[in-house]
Each structure stands twice: as C-alpha cells, then as structure tokens.
Structure 1
Amino acid sequence: MSRIGKKPVELPSGVTATVSGQTIEVKGAKATQSFTATDDVTITVEENAVVVTPRGKSKRARQQWGMSRTMVANMVKGVTVGFKKELEINGVGYRAQMQGNVLKLNLGYSHDVNFEVPAGVTVTAPKPTEIIIEGDDAQLVGQVAANIREWRKPEPYKGKGIKYKDEFIFRKEGKKK
C-alpha cells in the first residue's frame, strides 16, 4: 500500500486542475504544466484536491500510484512557488558569470566552459562563486543543476569544485611524510 499515493494533492487558491483521459493539466499563476499518467492509475479531481488511485493490485500499479501522485504534487508546487537549486563554486580562480543566455564558467581548464541555459529555466550568478537555478519544472531544474555540477565535481582533499549549497563534502587527509 502506497503511503504517499493515499494522500490527496491539495489545490491552493488560484490553481486549477483539469483531467482528460490519463492527462492532467495544472494551471497556476506562474505557469501551466501537464502530465500523462500510465494506464495503471486513475486521476480524478474532487473539490479542491487531486486524487490518484491504482487500477489493480499489481506491483506496477502500486509503483505508478506513488510516482503519479508525486508528479502531480510537483506540478502544483511548480505552478505556485517554483523550484530553486543553489550551487557554490570553491577553488582559486573558479568563477561563473551570465552573458545573455550562456553561463560562462572558469573552472581551471585551459578554456572557459560555456553552458547554454535551456528554455523553462532561469540561471543567475549574483556572485562569481554562486549560481542560482530557478524554474517551474522540478525535473528540469534538478537536471540543469546536475549538468552544471558535472563540469567540476567537488574533490575530497581541498573541496574544490561545484557543489550544492547544502551538500557536505567528506574531507580526506592528504599524504604524510
């Protein structure tokens, strides 16, 4: 039994949800998002909540139940508040700056890294060592943050690299003479 799937997704004021077949569309102040669920679940809108129920007792139906409910909850949060990831850059000479729709990163390579920001996400660099990624799609915001972090992951000896703001880097002790 899915503990997550049992809970209905509350719709705050100003947010509307419409279901047509297996597709749910959520409209809010910030954006409009849609999600197509598999045939293993049923999505219904009851009063001010979206309810997801499984269409059987198979393992796949139970898996899709919790996942579909989480997708709907993320859409509701995305169209009201939005999602935000913050990255920190540590290292001598490592810095970032925005130039139009391109994030320029100096990460100790012989060349600058030019990261093209995809549509649906806004990236800002308020400080040279800070990057803020915002958007209404949780998956897209997380993927953009992971792609930027991939250019220079934090290393365990000095902690140099790009890390999430709340991430803890386990430090190792260096060689001894």
Structure 2
Amino acid sequence: MSRIGRMPIAIPAGVTVEVAENNKVTVKGPNGTLDRVLPAEMDIKVEGDTVVVTRPNELKRMKSLHGLTRTLIANMVTGVTTGYQKVLEINGVGYRAAKNGKELTLTLGYSHPVVMKDPEGVETILEGQNKITVKGIDKEKVGQYAAEIRDKRRPEPYKGKGIKYSDEVIRRKVGKTGKK
C-alpha cells in the first residue's frame, strides 16, 4: 500500500465531501466549493467523517495514482477550510507593485509596466509596494499564479534583484574582480 494513499482524510466540521460518478469529487466548506474529476480507477469512499481512497491492484500506475488522489482530496479539504497563500517579495531599486481592482501592475525595470489580471478564485493583496500575497482556496491555482508573477523578473544571483518567494534563499555569486 502507498504510505500516503492509505491514510484516511479527516473531514472537519462544516465541510462536506461528495463523490459523484466518474470520481467527480465536490468539497464544500466555509471558504467555498471545489470540484475535481479524479482518476476513475481509484475507489473513493466517504465513511463518516473520513474519506478513504483504495486502489484496485498493485500495478505501478495504480500505486502512483493512489497517493496522488489522496493528496488532491486532502488539498481540497484544506483549501475550503483554511485556504492557501504564497508571499512574494520584490527586491531592487525602482521595482514596485501596484493594485488597481483585479489588476496587478508590476514595475520591474522594463521599458513598460507589466500588467497581470488576477485569475478566477485567486486574489492578490499588496503590503506596501514590494510584498505581494497571493491567496485562494485552490492550491494549484495559487501556486501557478505566484510562479507566473515570479517569472516576470526572477531573482538574479549577483545583486538579488527580482521577485522571490518570501521563504526562498537566493544563492549569491561574487561579481567580477577589478583590474589589478
């Protein structure tokens, strides 16, 4: 058995999990509703206040899908209860962010400002001009949008300028040495 796959998922109070045909799982909670079609080979059962995922056989593909399916459901339950967030920091002279409605405007040293629209179900919150918090209930969307923001100007190793995750450590390099 998959060590992760065999662990039951606890359903907190105020959260409902429904499994429809073709393994369409719908999770409703205080923060919203998430639904996802999971691999049809897996057997998903709601037993009381837990969700149990079992696999039909011991093929390598089934073992892989077992842990994945369980983790996806657990992430959905966590999303509708507490939600997910990623914090990004902007470092560099003249680098800043501004918010206008659902549009995030980034000034990153290019000849033009970079404008990004918040995707459905994801919101960005600015703290000052150089701290962006990406929040949402879908872990995948939050992570993807945070990665897209970071990709607009990745941190560089010489001065550390760019957009980085708050917990990310940039390995710095020593620059050129001057003439002797």
Give the corresponding residue for 1:66.
Answer: 67
Shift of residue 40, structure 1, vs aligned partner? 2.1
For 2:5, what is the secondary structure of its paired residue?
helix
Shift of residue 39, structure 1, vs aligned partner? 2.3
For 1:171, what is the secondary structure of its paired residue?
coil
Provide the C-alpha distance between the structure 2 equivalents of 1:2 and 1:91, rounded to a whole number of angstroms.
Answer: 45
Q: Given residue 17 of structure 2, which amino acid in structure 1 is its aligned partner?
A: A
Matches within 5 A, 1:95-174: 95-174=96-175
Query: Which segment is superposed worse, 18-27 or 76-85?
Result: 18-27
Provide the C-alpha distance between the structure 1 equivalents of 2:44 and 2:36, rounded to a whole number of angstroms.
Answer: 11
Provide the C-alpha distance between the structure 2 equivalents of 1:89 and 1:128, rounded to a whole number of angstroms.
Answer: 8
Residues 52 and 65 of structure 1 are in contact (CA less than 8 Å); yes or no, is this contact kept in structure 2?
yes
Shift of residue 111, structure 1, vs aligned partner? 0.5
Provide the C-alpha distance between the structure 1 equivalents of 2:125 and 2:38, rounded to a whole number of angstroms.
Answer: 33
Give a deviation string over 1:134-170, Cα, whole Å, max 9, x none: 0000000000000000000000000000000000000
Provide the C-alpha distance between the structure 1 equivalents of 2:118 and 2:33, rounded to a whole number of angstroms.
Answer: 20
For 1:79, what is the secondary structure of its paired residue?
helix
Runs of 4 or more, structure 1, over 2 Å off, are none
Provide the C-alpha distance between the structure 1 equivalents of 2:136 and 2:64, rounded to a whole number of angstroms.
Answer: 27
For 2:53, what is the secondary structure of its paired residue?
strand
Residues 40 and 60 of structure 1 are in contact (CA less than 8 Å); yes or no, is this contact kept in structure 2?
no
Structure 1 runs not aligned, ≥5 long: none
Aligned length: 177
Give the corresponding residue for 1:50.
Answer: 51
Task: Compute the TM-score of the two structures, normalised by the length of structure 1.
Answer: 0.98
Residues 40 and 56 of structure 1 are in contact (CA less than 8 Å); yes or no, is this contact kept in structure 2?
no
Shift of residue 35, structure 1, vs aligned partner? 1.9
Task: Compute the TM-score of the two structures, normalised by the length of structure 2.
Answer: 0.96
For 1:75, what is the secondary structure of its paired residue?
helix
Provide the C-alpha distance between the structure 1 equivalents of 2:41 and 2:2, rounded to a whole number of angstroms.
Answer: 14
Give the corresponding residue for 1:41.
Answer: 42
Give the corresponding residue for 1:28.
Answer: 29
Give the corresponding residue for 1:8.
Answer: 8
* Superposition RMSD in Å: 0.8
Provide the C-alpha distance between the structure 1 equivalents of 2:27 and 2:56, rounded to a whole number of angstroms.
Answer: 22
Structure 2 runs not aligned, ≥5 long: none
